Amino acid sequence: MAGGIGSRFWPMSTAEKPKQFLDVLGTGRTLLQQTIHRFGNLVPMENVYIVTSASYKEIIREQLPELTDQQVLLEPCMRNTAPCIAYACYKIREINPEARIVVAPSDHLVTNEPEFERVIAEGIEFVSQNAALLTLGIKPHRPETGYGYIQSSKEKLKIKNEKSEDSLVVPHFIQPVEAFKEKPDQETAQSYLASGDFFWNSGIFLWTANAIIRAFEENLPEVAAVFAGGAAVYNTGKEQAFVDEVYPTCVNISVDYGIMESANNIYVLPCDFGWSDLGTWGSLWEKRPKDVQGNTVTGDGVKLFDSKNCIVHISDNRPIVLQGLEDMIVVEANGVMMVCKKEDEQRIKEFRGAVVS
């Protein structure tokens, strides 16, 4: 999924070129390219599909020239993650009715790729044998208030075997989901951490094409009806015209709210592979290398004095001198300079609106 506009990373991330298309970590690869790379040992390149806004087609073809036009699914308008996922899964099922699917955001960070590969392989094996919808839950390291949470159930349920009418006992490392929780306050987050039954919601899902389409039919039948109507045109020259016509009629709803909170076959695989959703400048500060004062700096012309725990990103090499700053975000990009406290970064959307309105 590569259609978001990355507004919390403004002014570096813009609607014209959001953060998934940027090298925010200074690795030489954009976040989208890193995402594709980490699936390299798991998914053949011809089986990779990118769902994105039609306005980002050329950026994706530039960054991933190995993809064909059929692998870049273009949304004519934003309708959140449920229609995005439904479109891709209905299209994929027409190619392979037995397809096993991993859905992943394009703008997250994974630092332990071997462990990521192991977890994905384990999850694929589970959904291959069971009519289940599986999500990856990240074991929390702190009482984080910036993530949604998944609450697991201690009850070990049986679920239907995908290949027969038999039931299989869920492996001990996979747990039924009790509930999905919105971003908590600090006190609630602390209680989640202490309980041991809560995991950060990674937004990474595994299922078969048939299992997720059944879930759409049962929980979002209006969305299912829209994309079922394209069976005859998927993977043909008529696909885009069909999508352009029907996509705007879809309800604007997330897959979490529309499917995962409603279906009765939802499971979580707890894991820990150095994950971050890189949703804010503060989360980027946590992941980037820092100097002895806790500062992380992008921009060869930046000079810091008497400053600590700051993140500074200057898009060119012009001289910038900063003195006496603590826990600040300083960003210059796309003709905009922003200076704000890290603790106030939730106001960045407000700042962006003041400049672009």
CATH assignment of the domain containing 192: 3.90.550.10
- Is 348 domain-assigned? yes
End position of a domain, from candidates 262, 279, 296? 279
Position 350 in a domain: yes
143 and 78 in a single domain? The answer is: yes
pLDDT digits (tens, 9 = 90+) for 292-326: 999 999 989 999 999 999 999 998 788 999 999 99
Whether 225 and 131 map to the same domain: the answer is yes
On the CB side of 144, how many CA atoms lie within 13 Å of its CA? 23
CB 189 within 8 A of CB 233: no
Domain stops at, among 258, 279, 300? 279
Looking at the structure of the chain, the number of domains it has is 2
Strand, coil or helix: 290: coil
Are residues 293 and 231 located together in one domain of the fold?
no
The closest of 304, 302, 307, 309 to 327, measured between CA atoms, is: 309
Domain stops at, among 251, 279, 307: 279
Q: Are strands 175-181 and 149-152 parallel, antiparallel or unpaired?
A: antiparallel
**Are 306 and 347 contained in the same domain?**
yes
pTM of the model: 0.91
The residues near 350 (Cβ < 8 Å, ≥ 6 apart) are none
Same structural domain for residues 329 and 302? yes
Residues 273, 335, single domain; the answer is no
Whether 210 has a pLDDT exceeding 60, the answer reads: yes
What does R_g of the chain's alpha carbons equal in angstroms?
21
Q: Tell the residue number behind the tokens 């796309």, with chain if given.
A: 334
Question: DSSP class of residue 190?
Answer: H
pLDDT digits (tens, 9 = 90+) for 246-256: 999 999 999 99
Which amino acid is present at 209?
A
Domain containing residue 342: 282-356
Q: Do 321 and 216 share a domain, yes or no? A: no
Give the whole-angstrom CA distance, residue 282 versus residue 342: 6
Say yes or no: 88 and 160 in one domain. yes
Spell out the alpha helix ranges (H) of the chain. Answer: 31-38, 57-63, 81-95, 113-129, 186-195, 209-219, 221-228, 239-246, 255, 281-287, 348-356
Q: Confirm whether 1 is domain-assigned.
A: no
Evaluate if residue 242 carries a pLDDT over 80: yes
Bridge partners (DSSP) of residue 303 are: 321
pLDDT in tens, 53-106: 999 999 999 999 999 999 999 999 999 999 999 999 999 999 999 999 999 999
Q: Which segment of 43-47, 142-146, 265-269, 320-324 scores lowest on mean pLDDT?
A: 142-146
Q: Are residues 294 and 257 in the same domain?
A: no
Based on the fold, state whether residues 218 and 91 are members of the same structural domain: yes
Amino acid identity of residue 91, one-letter, is: K
